[in-house]
């Protein structure tokens, strides 16, 4: 029987208390649903006034409840979607007013807003920068016309470059690009060329996502009909590892499974999720978390609005995490970042598991931390379950 898991080891797997200092606001509007998308989006003209009114109503109800009420001093604010850039140049000033940001420019707040290159105009860039947005995340996915058409993106190959220029002209230098890998082989796409193009743009942050076939999406239906082939696991693996090697060689830190940053440009908002800090989600489909409690809002925009109009908190559902769920989530979140898991007090069996990972090339054990390699990150879910099983096998020693 392995030795007991110490309190120090488990402490890193427990949740922070306190009021949320990170807030996510969901903007559901899109001009068109992408081929692969299963996000809570609404293909409809963006209605800024209606959206801000809904967010304001929800926040008032949240504050009335008290439990998820955000801290007065926020660390991060993230406006995602959907396509927030469809809401126009005045959208973020409206968000600042609704949230009650006193000094978004001078407070040190990391304020990220997502945009698509086709709707991120110079006017939008200036308006957002003036409101306090200091980080832009651009949904690029590819720089190649064949891939963009297949993904049903609205921008062309030069869209990302032009959007970056607009952001920089407005004073926003902290820029992330989303890129997608693992496309089917029939798509006219050169992954190495996309990586080279992204590097040439000199942005401080890149997020890479492998294409997955989600139920209910146009992609899923096409795969089921046989008109499109599913992504191949070997291509997914090869392109992921190639990207990690290429980007780290150019000075990016591979600091989380899907994310690369120049030192000092890691996403503060996402790091709050990964360390299980409390956060508040506003808008349809948004999630909130604090302590053991997680809840999520109604997914459909119309249902979400109706609940608010009736004076109800727009919950879809929620859950209370028990000790076992907290432990598993703590293991999974720890392993997904370059910080890894602490070795202190883990016990014999968990350490034996970690040593087997090291021998297989899936992990490094350095500085009293277990850190997965890129090869190990490809097996993240499986490895997290294995480590959790080893931790369960440890029993507190009898006094």
Instruction: Let me know if residue 6 belongs to a domain.
Output: no
The low-confidence residues of the chain, meaning pLDDT below 50, are: 1-15, 396-399
* CA 306 to chain centroid: 28
Which tokens hold the place of 5?
A: 């898991």
195, part of any domain: yes
> Does 132 map to a domain?
yes
Place of tokens 């190959």: 157
pTM of the entire predicted model: 0.92
pLDDT computed for residue 22 by the predictor: 97
Q: Are residues 33 and 153 in the same domain?
A: yes
Residues 220 and 339 in one domain: no
Residue 305 lies in a domain: no
**Per-residue model confidence (pLDDT) at position 399:** 29
Would you say residue 12 lies in a domain?
no
Q: What tokens were used for 369?
A: 């931390």
Amino acid 166: pLDDT: 98
User: How far apart are the C-alpha atoms of 196 and 74, rounded to whole Å?
Assistant: 36
Same domain, 353 and 259: no
- Say if residues 113 and 167 touch (Cβ distance below 8 Å): no
Are 107 and 186 in a shared domain? yes
Residue 328: CB atoms within 10 A of its CB come to 19
Cis peptide, bond prior to residue 394, ω within 30 of zero: no
- Which one of 216, 241, 274 terminates a domain? 274
How many whole angstroms separate alpha carbon 167 and alpha carbon 138?
A: 10
68-106 pLDDT, tens digit each:
999 989 999 999 999 999 999 999 999 999 999 987 776
Identify whether residues 47 and 108 lie together within a single domain: yes
CATH of the domain at 386: 1.10.10
By residue count, the chain amounts to 399
Task: Say if residue 86 is in the same domain as residue 214.
Answer: yes
Final residue before a domain boundary, out of 255, 274, 293:
274
Domain stops at, among 274, 307, 338: 274
Query: What three-state secondary structure class fits 97?
Result: helix
Which structural domain, as residue segments, surrounds residue 375?
324-393
| Confidence at residue 321, expressed as pLDDT on a 0 to 100 scale | 95
pLDDT given for residue 4 in this prediction:
34
The count of structural domains within the chain is 2
Residue 194, pLDDT score:
97
Q: What CATH number does the domain containing 146 carry?
A: 3.20.20.70
């Amino acid at each position: 029987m392995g030795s007991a898991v110490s309190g120090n080891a488990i402490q890193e797997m427990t949740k922070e208390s306190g009021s949320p200092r990170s807030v996510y606001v969901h903007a559901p509007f899109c001009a068109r649903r992408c081929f692969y998308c299963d996000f809570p989006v609404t293909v409809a003209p963006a209605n800024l006034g209606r959206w801000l009114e809904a967010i304001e109503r929800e926040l008032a109800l949240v504050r009335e409840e008290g439990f998820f009420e955000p801290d007065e001093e926020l660390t991060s604010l993230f406006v995602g979607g959907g396509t927030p850039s469809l809401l126009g140049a005045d959208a973020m000033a409206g968000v600042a007013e609704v949230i009650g940001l006193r000094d978004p420019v001078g407070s040190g707040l990391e304020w990220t807003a997502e945009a698509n290159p086709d709707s991120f105009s110079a006017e939008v860039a200036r308006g957002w920068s003036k409101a306090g947005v200091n980080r832009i995340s651009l949904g690029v996915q590819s720089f190649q016309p064949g891939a963009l058409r297949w993904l049903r993106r609205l921008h062309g190959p030069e869209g990302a470059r032009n959007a970056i220029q607009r952001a920089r002209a407005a004073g926003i230098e902290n820029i992330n690009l989303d890129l997608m890998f693992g496309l089917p082989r029939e798509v006219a796409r050169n992954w190495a060329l996309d990586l080279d193009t992204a590097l040439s743009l000199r942005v401080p942050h890149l997020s890479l996502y492998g294409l997955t076939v989600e139920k209910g999406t146009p992609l899923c239906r096409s795969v089921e009909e046989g008109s499109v082939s599913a992504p191949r696991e070997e291509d997914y693996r090869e392109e992921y590892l190639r990207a990690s090697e290429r980007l780290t060689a150019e000075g990016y830190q591979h600091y989380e499974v899907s994310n690369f940053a120049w030192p000092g440009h890691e996403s503060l908002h996402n790091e709050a999720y990964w360390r299980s800090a409390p956060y508040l989600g506003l808008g349809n489909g948004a999630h909130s978390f604090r302590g053991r409690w997680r809840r999520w809002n109604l997914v459909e925009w119309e249902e979400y609005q109706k609940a608010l109009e009736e004076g109800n908190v727009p919950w879809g559902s929620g859950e209370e995490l028990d000790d076992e769920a907290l432990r598993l989530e703590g293991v999974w979140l720890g392993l997904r970042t370059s910080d890894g898991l602490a070795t202190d007090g883990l016990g014999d069996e968990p350490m034996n598991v970690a040593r087997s990972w090291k021998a297989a090339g899936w992990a490094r054990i350095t500085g009293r931390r277990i850190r997965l390699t890129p090869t190990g990150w490809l097996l993240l879910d499986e490895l997290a379950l294995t480590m959790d099983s080893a931790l369960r096998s440890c029993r507190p020693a009898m006094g």
